[in-house]
Amino acid sequence: MAKKTSTQNLKNQQQNTLNIGVENPFFSIKNMWWICFLLAFLFYGNSIKNGYSMDDEYVTTTVNQKNELTEKGIWGFGKIFTSHSFIDGKQNYEYRPVSIYTFAIEWSLFKNSENRVHYSHAINVILYALIGVFLFQLLQVLFQGKASTLSAVITVLFMIHPIHSEVVNSIKNRDELLSLLFALLAAIQTFKWLDQKKIWRIGWIALFILLSLLSKKSNLPFIVSIPLMIYFFRDVKLKTIGLTFLLLFSMKICFNLFKNYFLGLQESSTRKFSYFENPLFEMDFIDRIPMFFYTNWLYIQKLILPYPLAFYYGFDAIPLVGFGDWQFYLGLLIMAIALYFAIKGFRSKSKLSFGILFFFLAIGGVANLLSPMVGIFAERFAFSASIGFCIVLAYLFSQWKKDEFLSGRLSSKLIIPLLIVILPSLVYSINRNSVWHSKKSLYLNDIKHVPNSVKANSLLGSEYQLEVMDIQKNGNATFEVLMEKVDSALMMYEKSLSLYGDYESNLNNRGVLLYTFYYDYEKALSLFKHSVKVNPSYKEGMLNCANSYAKLAEGFLELEKLNNSVDTNESSIKSTEKQVLAIYFKNELFKTFAITKQFDLNIRDFAKKFSRDQLAFQIKANAQNLGNLSESLKKNSFASKMSDNVNQFIQSNPQGILNGILQFNSQIFNQILIENNITKAAISPSLSKLKNQYIDSAKIYFKKTHELSRSDKNIFQIEEKFAIQLNDYGWLISIQEQLIKEFPEEQHGPQYVQMGNGYLNLKQRDKALSYFQKGAQEFKKEKEALLKKTNRTQTEEDRLNLLTKELKNLKAFKEKILKGEI
């Protein structure tokens, strides 16, 4: 009997040895430091030369956008820890102060260096190397130093996996790196506390898990994973496992206190998610079940074969599956098989069981069941879960190469299979890093892999639009290049809208491009109106509706000017407003008038910039460029007619230029009337009425825009400009009255002067003089306040000089009014 028991014990010991492995001197902690840093820089070293990419502006100041929190620097600790981490002007996002503070430290150290972005990338690579080091240390602690080969293989597989390229390459995703780093340190300290019985290590456990959550909540599952590790790798009482869980969970409560109570940041104030980011936000729990199983299968699939990778996988890059789809049953089958092995090995504490359970714990929270994620799927969501995958893979590898794992030495039978995995991963990762060089390089490359992603198409459109804005600002490209960028942006927005038609910012951005570069106020207006129908609180869309109505009203004003010599009694035939609108929009008269007006402004601008010889070339080129923007202008040979008059334009005064353009507009107008068999007299009664209708619509939308943003003075300035252009002086006066009411503490000299101008044009001379006097008094108060200052800045000196000129001009203007000269 004793002999049988001894034999059974020996058999169990052999099985445990086979399961654990033996110590390999080569894979010491010291050597693994070198190996992890070598792998990190070998695989991601070329990412250091990259620039800023997707979402980096949310965490640091980039080339195109400032980040106020980051620029607080090292002394901004208090502000950073009492603020939402991401703010885009419309809504607040998450609370991740630890990761944001690292960028504030960078700002203090490197803010004036053009290499700051490269330092940021280098720090990410170093953090990734440290994660490899601490993962190896944790595995050694778990295996109590008896499975260094297995620990090393798991670590190497983790370090070389291409799915991590998003986390390392994206500066913004430093939060993922820090969160996992601190979670690993918390796990290491937990086992040191259990093994060494030193109570002070509890403080380190609490600190590290709290820092992990304050970096990002991605590794919240470690609150359960660490107790699971204790069960699998230590023989302790359940009470100890329970106390560890309570300790870790208490740090989650502390995190909530930091966020919700100490800082007053409520979850309800964070960002709102859209259908195009993840349609599952609009589905209930039952409907999300098929997607849960399918999403888990997708993560397993990408971990097995990480190709192709993409920066965004929202709607409609990944299909939505239901209970009747085969993808659901495939995911269910794979998860069932995996859970079978996990449960089977649970009591025997199999490493395979642990790896499977670790994976599902880490991936479960991002698999869209309890709470949908931003994006149906994301590579960064698999970062921590990939540890479990690598444990399973290494364990299966160890069962295949048992002798090599038990020998305690390196051999070709161990190295060659690893190299077969490492080399393709190295090539792919290095290539993937170059794709992350910039937003545009990333979007252009990945759109091939996710052509039906609403967000991906939108983001690429935004990049083209930013390039358009840069050309507008700096004039660093030809008109042809500019319009190529415009058309590319329009195409990407159109593709995105074809996939999801209610994307409000896409509707607005496409409308802005049509409004600005094609002068197509009709199509732009329909897009803007759609955007505010989707979101009645969308200020940009509301303002652009107002702008479009005002621009269309300007077109009717131009028609009035062309029609102003008509005697309305000369014809008894009257047109309906519907007929006039049909003529106006079918022939795109609003576009014709807007483009010819722009041509007039361009000629005047060219006259200031170019010599006489250069001026002729510029006018002809501009006529050709603008003429191609409208079918009506092409039909009426705008470019050739304007080119024929180049010498006249060069020699004429500004009024001569204007007369030439008015003549062209008049020819088009007369031709349209002939084609429609209608007279000027017939349409005359409708023009003023239609103009006023469009002005009234503009006023309504301006009013709505003010209600959405009462503190934005820029809206008043835009509205004022249209009131002047449309000769609506009652509107001009009401704008100034509202502005004075909204900003009572400010100086309002310009507003009173504009009110005076309004009343003067309305032939109310006494009221005009009264408001001119109020304006003069405001200017005098401001001037006296500046004169009292002993140390004035240059800006204040310039303002003082301007006030002096304004008062002088205003006085002369009032005298002319009193003399009846005006």
Highest mean pLDDT among 404-408, 501-505, 647-651, 785-789: 501-505
Whether the CB-CB separation of 168 and 44 falls below 8 Å is answered with yes
| Structural class in CATH, domain 454-536 | mainly alpha
Burial bucket for residue 609 (CB in 10 Å: 0-12, 13-18, 19+): exposed
The pLDDT value given to residue 523: 97
Q: How far is CA 400 from CA 13, 346, 354, 414, in A?
A: 20, 21, 19, 10
Compute how many other C-beta atoms are within 10 angstroms of the C-beta atom of residue 474: 8
Residue 407 has pLDDT above 90, yes or no: no
| 92 beta partners | 87, 270
Residue 34 has pLDDT above 60, yes or no: yes
Highest mean pLDDT among 116-125, 579-588, 655-664, 706-715: 116-125
Residues contacting 396, CB < 8 A, separation 6+: 352
Residue 647 has pLDDT above 90, yes or no: no
Q: How far is CA 671 from CA 161, 698, 754, in A?
A: 69, 30, 40
Q: Which two tokens stand for residue 644?
A: 């024929």
Mean pLDDT of 628-638: 90
Residues contacting 664, CB < 8 A, separation 6+: 596, 636, 638, 641, 642
The pLDDT value given to residue 717: 94
Quickly tell me which residue has 């502006």 as its tokens: 57
Residue 240 has pLDDT above 70, yes or no: yes
Q: Is the peptide bond before 316 cis (omega within 30 degrees of 0)?
A: yes
The pLDDT value given to residue 452: 94
Highest mean pLDDT among 474-478, 528-532, 608-612: 528-532
Span of 182-186, 442-446, 630-634, 688-692 with lowest mean pLDDT: 630-634
Nearest one of 192, 202, 201 to 230, comparing CA atoms: 192
Nearest one of 215, 371, 377 to 306, comparing CA atoms: 377
**Cα 736 off chain centre by:** 36
The pLDDT value given to residue 11: 43
The pLDDT value given to residue 572: 53
3-state SS string for 103-153: HHHHHHHHCCCCCHHHHHHHHHHHHHHHHHHHHHHHHHHHCCCCCHHHHHH
Quickly tell me which residue has 């089977």 as its tokens: 344
The pLDDT value given to residue 402: 83
* Torsion, CA 386, CA 388, CA 390, CA 393, rounded to 10: -130
Whether the CB-CB separation of 554 and 725 falls below 8 Å is answered with yes
Whether the CB-CB separation of 40 and 123 falls below 8 Å is answered with no
Which one-letter DSSP state was computed for residue 272? Answer: P
Domain coordinates of the chain in residue numbers? 454-536, 576-677
Q: Which two tokens stand for residue 588?
A: 């795109």
| 87 beta partners | 92
| String of DSSP letters for 367-428 | SSSSS--SSS--GGGGTTHHHHHHHHHHHHHHHHTHHHHHHSS--HHHHHHHHHHHHHHHHH
Cα R_g (the chain), whole angstroms: 35
Q: What letter represents residue 650's amino acid?
A: I
Condensed to tens digits (0 to 9), the pLDDT of residues 752-764 reads 999 999 999 999 9
Nearest one of 444, 451, 173 to 313, comparing CA atoms: 451
Mean pLDDT of 399-417: 81
The pLDDT value given to residue 822: 78
Residue 436 has pLDDT above 90, yes or no: yes
Sign of the Cα torsion 226, 228, 229, 233 reads positive
Span of 189-198, 522-531, 654-663, 743-752 with lowest mean pLDDT: 654-663
Residues contacting 78, CB < 8 A, separation 6+: none
The pLDDT value given to residue 222: 97
Residues contacting 283, CB < 8 A, separation 6+: 291, 372
Mean pLDDT of 98-118: 94
Mean pLDDT of 24-32: 86
Condensed to tens digits (0 to 9), the pLDDT of residues 125-172 reads 999 999 999 999 999 999 998 888 899 999 999 999 999 999 999 999
How far apart are the two ends of the chain, measured CA to CA in Å?
125
Residue 10 has pLDDT above 90, yes or no: no
Which one-letter DSSP state was computed for residue 283? Answer: S
Residue 256 has pLDDT above 80, yes or no: yes
pTM of the model: 0.89
Give the confidence band of 581 by pLDDT, cuts at 50, 70, 90. very high
Residues contacting 451, CB < 8 A, separation 6+: 457
Compute how many other C-beta atoms are within 10 angstroms of the C-beta atom of residue 532: 24
> How many H helices and E strands in the chain?
36, 0
Identify the three-state secondary structure at position 87: strand
Residue 270 phi, psi dihedral angles, 5° rounding:
-80, 180
Question: How does the average pLDDT of the chain come out, rounded?
Answer: 90
The pLDDT value given to residue 262: 62
* φ/ψ bin of 571: left (φ > 0), alpha (ψ from -120 to 50), beta (otherwise): beta
List the Cα angle 701/707/709 in 5-degree steps.
Answer: 105
| String of DSSP letters for 187-247 | HHHHHHHHHH--TTHHHHHHHHHHHHHHH-GGGTTHHHHHHHHHHHH----HHHHHHHHHH
The pLDDT value given to residue 656: 64
CA atoms within 13 A on the CB side of 434: 5
Whether the CB-CB separation of 121 and 46 falls below 8 Å is answered with no
Mean pLDDT of 515-532: 97
Give the confidence band of 1 by pLDDT, cuts at 50, 70, 90. very low
3-state SS string for 12-78: HHHHHHHHHCCCCHHHCHHHHHHHHHHHHHHHHHHHHHCCCCCCHHHCCCCCCCCCCCHHHHHHHHH
Give the confidence band of 4 by pLDDT, cuts at 50, 70, 90. very low
Q: How far is CA 316 from CA 297, 302, 303, 497, in A?
A: 18, 18, 22, 12
Whether the CB-CB separation of 249 and 210 falls below 8 Å is answered with no
* Torsion, CA 316, CA 321, CA 327, CA 330, rounded to 10: 140
Percent of the chain with pLDDT over 90: 69
Residue 18 has pLDDT above 50, yes or no: no
Condensed to tens digits (0 to 9), the pLDDT of residues 445-486 reads 999 999 999 999 999 999 999 999 999 988 889 999 999 999
Nearest one of 229, 258, 38, 60 to 128, comparing CA atoms: 38
